[in-house]
Structure 1
Amino acid sequence: MTAAFRKPEPQHENPDRFIAAMAGAAAQVSVVTTDGPAGRFGVTVSAFSSVSAEPPLVLVCINRRSPAIDAITANDAFCVNLLRDDQADIANCFAGRPGALTPYDFACTDWQTAHTGAPVLSGATANFDCTVETAYDAGTHRIFIGRVRQALGHNAAPLAFSGRAYQALRPL
């Protein structure tokens, strides 16, 4: 093949420009929790999505530097707790920016125990108790696909993250 017919190599975006552009996205804030033989851990994430309704599957993306990665893998379960718009302090606690709270301390709020053993945040907008279906590494993160064993929904306004700040979403 001659040079005239070769596709140009794709360019890779500068990570700083990518992060700046992603600040324009809005995402629900959640705390992903796990408990079991590998210990009790929680971490704040904004990368959460449904995957399938039949069977019910969700995904979360967690930075591979987080100790929650090994715990979720070993415990084979996690719960995605979608936060209310008045739960920014919980989001900060499990993001390691606790203010007056202790980082990653479950004593910052009330928890129940899910069927899988994972902590379930009382009063969240929704909780998805999952067993690990599969996991993939992608860049700096691990993507966990969870099979939802129990889903609970509550009528509450969600906490969102956009423009590098927490936001309250309200109907238009």
Structure 2
Amino acid sequence: MSASAQLQPTAHHQEGERASLASADREAFIAAMSGAVTGVHVVATEGPAGQFGVTVSAVASVSADPPIVLACVNRRSPAADAIRRNGVFSINLLADHQTQVSDVFAGRAPDRAAFDFGCAEWREGPTGCKLLKDAVASFDCVVENVCDAGTHVVLFGRVVHALGAGHTPLAHHRRTYCTASPIAAQT
């Protein structure tokens, strides 16, 4: 995967035409994106650059062969630079009973210090990164690639260890926490 890969213009949108299109209004974009239901994750790193964690919603599977995931972290977060320097990170999908963990790593818990790993129980993964006990899923990763994208960095990680549990995932929709529930089969 190359950080310098570029999209090729289609026949009906040549490069000059695309460049002249204005970006969407920031507030309209944020409001529209709040309609997406996303999982809530804590991305953590550990190593010579220090121990950091941050709550993120933009996480995705990229490939199964080899197993690669991505996470988007705001470039202003100290975790972004630490992940680059440490070369490892974990992604922990929170369970519906872990809203306080999300708030701590988002820096908005009213009764705990921001980014305090003492807010939950963790185990150490093969890379040395923290894996959250009771998480729906945890992925321990080695950095494969990092791309700058607007206000964020996109971290691509090769998964060296994965754990899953049967908990209900914590989700985020319309700027609030929620959970997913099955829909009855349509007949």
1:3 maps to which residue? none
2:55 maps to which residue? 44
- For 2:22 and 2:114, how far apart are their aligned partners in 1? 39
2:143 maps to which residue? 132
Unaligned 5+ runs, structure 2: 1-15
- For 1:89 and 1:7, how far apart are their aligned partners in 2? 46
Q: 1:96 to 1:7 in 2, by over 3 A?
A: closer
What's the TM-score, normalizing by structure 1?
0.94
> Do structure 1's residue 88 and structure 2's residue 95 form an aligned pair?
no
Q: 1:67-106 residue pairs with structure 2 within 5 A?
A: 67-106=78-117
Q: SS in structure 2 opposite 1:107?
A: helix
CA RMSD of aligned residues (A): 1.1
Q: SS in structure 2 opposite 1:127?
A: strand
Residues 113-171 of structure 1 deviation map (CA, whole Å, 9 limit, x = unaligned)? 01000011001000000000000000000000000001111101000011000111121
- Of residues 3, 10, 34 in structure 1, which corresponds to 2:21? 10
Residues 63-102 of structure 1 deviation map (CA, whole Å, 9 limit, x = unaligned)? 0000001111111000000000110100000000012111
Residues 8-45 of structure 1 deviation map (CA, whole Å, 9 limit, x = unaligned)? 83131110110011110110000000111111100000
- For 2:123 and 2:180, how far apart are their aligned partners in 1? 26
Q: 1:10 to 1:111 in 2, by over 3 A?
A: same
- For 1:70 and 1:17, how far apart are their aligned partners in 2? 29
> What percentage of residue pairs aligned between the two structures are identical?
49
Unaligned 5+ runs, structure 1: 1-5
Residue 7 of structure 1: how far off its partner (Å): 4.7
- Of residues 149, 174, 177 in structure 2, which corresponds to 1:163? 174
- For 1:7 and 1:57, how far apart are their aligned partners in 2? 34
Amino acid at match of 1:111: W
2:30 maps to which residue? 19
